Structure 1
Amino acid sequence: MNYGLYQSAGGVLSNLHEFQVISNNLANTQTTGFKADLALAQQRLPERLESGTPVDPQLLLERLGGGQLATPTMIEFIQGSLAQTGSSTDVAIDGKGLFVVGPERGATEESSALTRDGRFSLNADNQLVMSATGWNLLDDRNQPIELDQGAFEIDENGTIHQGGEEVATIAMRRVEHPDALEKLGDGLLRATSESGPATADTTSTVRQGYLEDSTVNPIIAMKDLMELSRALEANVRMMQYQDLLMGQAAGTLGKVT
């Protein structure tokens, strides 16, 4: 096996994975409530250690190491800046909390999802729904929030007031490890075994008339892409160089008599 060729190929695959993650981040610089993904990689063990081969190490290969492997991404779950919109149906969370949305009345924990996208609107039934998906914003009883015609206010605890009465309280959840949440698309998130279950959040506050900006810094992301392009180019050149050496070696050995 050409050890160096496989190492360079592993580097190319890792670079391509990181390139895809950063490109997706860049595409979401204007997406409300978007949390950037972190592309991670790990050092692969040398072949002898990974396979458990009970032989003395070949010192040169041992020094080369085992190369690099891409690993699953993590969410960089940090607070985005809040931008004032003035719309009463726009809501932002200040803190680690998450809105709960569901596709149908009386959504269960299994069918509901979490989101930081606070762009809501009123549907034909005068229910607050997520503008991107049409899913219902759920209250603390796991029910859609239905309002009367007219103005309404949302306080920092998520309680909705209309006509001098409390209409509903917006459900907010949190997980112990939000960086391990699963992204479902359209701004939807789901708790995983790694993130821990979604439980009631009593520490975050709600800001009516605001939206949370994406956490992606386009300048840093572009810089990372440029550096990544150079690393990818170097790994590809190394693969070509090692392929050339293998061809020369095969030609030389074929002439030996």
Structure 2
Amino acid sequence: MLRGLYTAASGMITQQRRHDTVTQNIANINTAGYKQVNSVTHSFPDVLISLMGDKETGGQKTIGRLTTGVFAEESMSSFMQGDLKETNNSSDFGLVSSLGLIDPATDQPIPFDASGKYVTEDGEVIYRPEVFFTVQDANGETRYTRDGGFRVNAAGGLLTNQGQAVLGSDGNPIVLQPGVTIDQVQSDGLGNLTSLDEEGEPVIVATLGVVVVNNPHQLVREGHGVFRVDNVQAANIRALEAEDNASVRQGYLESSNVDTAQAMVDLMAAQRAYESNQKLIQYYDKSLEKAVNEIGRV
């Protein structure tokens, strides 16, 4: 009986964490560049239940296996492309990417699933590469984001909405030249920012630091749409190249990739599952009360 009580309690904790994850996604539906988080659950190891044998034979009879509960194993980000929203703001930049990989065994494009993952016949897990802007936090550390809603300060520095410096392809913060405003800057698909010189000729003033993260699930979420990388080698980060199927769109922002309808369904499902486990605990509580106060009295 106590085993069932613990199983129901673990189910309540798991559904609470699932509910919190979905609530976080719903709260960030209008956050530019936000990537949905999915809660991954896993069952406790199976327990083998056996019937004790009698004294004559000494053998045991296997009854079966029992799973003693479930727990929230981890929260994984979904890096699916969000819709682009036109803002007509020169300091807004959206990333469009549909990067793919070629399977060397079949020489065909790898069919990634909705989460951007593919498992080979040998059990190897391959993730779809994703592109990110590079920014610098207050401690001088490099971070990555899909939120391209930038602004320019009085010194001409290109900053995020959180005040982090936007890095160029050379790894240094982007600072516009004196007399050059962001409205005079045009960006191409690779993030090259150009403006006209005194003779009216286009000149590259900076290049946005757009990188390709070949294993985006190595990114660690820090909040406000910013990620860090603890293992750079495992993430396998490189600069965006012309042949990559990705581009920068000026005057656009990438919307959140949260599926509102699915999020509401998941929210209700988590609530109903939580209530079901709660009723089981109440049932076990009443059963234990009877076992102690009534059966024990007899």
Query: When the two structures are superposed, what TM-score results if normalisation uses the length of structure 2?
Result: 0.76
Q: Structure 1's 104 and 162: CA in aligned 2 closer, same or farther, altered over 3 A?
A: farther
Which residue of 130, 145, 168 corresponds with 1:139?
168
Identity %, equivalent residues: 31
Q: Partner residue of 1:243?
A: 285
Kept in 2, the 8 Å contact 1:48–1:57? The answer is no
Which residue of 114, 118, 122 corresponds with 2:144?
114
Name the aligned partner's letter for residue 229 of structure 2.
Answer: A
Q: Partner residue of 2:255?
A: 213
Q: Structure 1's 249 and 189: CA in aligned 2 closer, same or farther, altered over 3 A?
A: same
Query: When the two structures are superposed, what TM-score results if normalisation uses the length of structure 1?
Result: 0.88
After TM superposition, the structure 1 = structure 2 runs for residues 85-96 of structure 1, keeping only pairs within 5 Å, are 85-95=87-97, 96=130
Q: Structure 1's 58 and 244: CA in aligned 2 closer, same or farther, altered over 3 A?
A: farther
Q: Partner residue of 1:100?
A: 134
Kept in 2, the 8 Å contact 1:25–1:216? The answer is yes
- Please say if 1:184 is aligned against 2:222: yes
Deviation at residue 201 of structure 1 after TM alignment: 2.8
- The worse-fitting range, judged by mean Cα deviation, of 227-236 and 96-105 is 96-105
More strand, by proportion:
2
Question: Using the alignment, how far apart are the partners of 1:180 and 1:229 within structure 2?
Answer: 31
Kept in 1, the 8 Å contact 2:4–2:68? The answer is no
Q: Structure 1's 57 and 222: CA in aligned 2 closer, same or farther, altered over 3 A?
A: farther
SS for the counterpart of 2:296 is helix
Question: Using the alignment, how far apart are the partners of 2:231 and 2:293 within structure 1?
Answer: 55
* Cα shift readout 1:174-207 (whole Å, capped 9, x = no counterpart): 2222234211111111124496243323222100
Larger Rg: 2
State the Cα RMSD in Å.
2.2
Return 5+ residue gaps in structure 1 as ranges: 50-54
- The worse-fitting range, judged by mean Cα deviation, of 177-186 and 30-39 is 177-186
* Cα shift readout 1:130-180 (whole Å, capped 9, x = no counterpart): 12x111110111111111323010100110101221111111122222234
More helix, by proportion:
1
Q: Structure 1's 18 and 58: CA in aligned 2 closer, same or farther, altered over 3 A?
A: farther
- The worse-fitting range, judged by mean Cα deviation, of 189-198 and 17-26 is 189-198
SS for the counterpart of 1:5 is helix
